[in-house]
Amino acid sequence: MKICLANSDNEIQQIRQLQSLNLKENVEDSAIDGFVTACYSEAFLHNMNSSTPAIIAKEKNKVVGYALATERSLLRNHPLLNDLSDQINDIPFCGKRIGDFEYLVVGQLCVAKEVRGQGVSQQLYRTFKNTYKDHYPFAVTDVDTENLASFRTHIKAGFKPVGTLHYGNSDWNVVVWDWRPNS
């Protein structure tokens, strides 16, 4: 398996296809398999990828996993992410508010069902951190409280819960992966 940065239209299309297969409404047993909530257009994925390339896992030239990186400036271009940013910025963190920092958002993490249990998520997140830790103090994301598989994956990677939110008809755990030295 190869872990790398997404850099082609074909890889963006494959990310979109994998996302579609794993949307909450398309997953048979979301309690076991986990799911993704946000549906991004191909154009939005291209915008995300142009400033902060996605980390992808490829097997035989097929994208089988991804971790999307999203700069805060793009959050306003998607209704669900816009709602997230409005609320997340007010959460206390390290004596300030999250919004007082120039953080990176994990726009989504997804691994194809056929390669789950092989450590792909952790490989994606290791590369994600190594790619972005010198540019941002931490990464932040939210996990639907019904998505226990995803929550466990994030905690295992090093994310820490910092609060909860309600938006988009769901409750969310907000988690931060602090990359600053001595944190």
157-163: long-range pairs with CB below 8 Å, 24+: 157/121, 157/122, 157/125, 158/125, 158/129, 162/91, 162/92, 162/93, 162/98, 163/91, 163/92
Ranges under pLDDT 50 in the chain: none
Q: Kindly list the structural domains of the chain, giving each domain's residue range(s) and its CATH number in brackets, ordered by start.
A: 2-178 (3.40.630.30)
pLDDT in tens, 73-86: 887 787 777 777 77
pLDDT more than 70, % of the chain: 99
Name the token pair of 71.
């700069």
**What letter would DSSP give residue 52?**
S
Provide the pairing of β-strand 55-59 with 62-71. antiparallel
Q: pLDDT per residue over 116-135, tens digit each?
A: 999 999 999 999 999 999 99
Task: Flag whether the pTM goes above 0.85.
Answer: yes
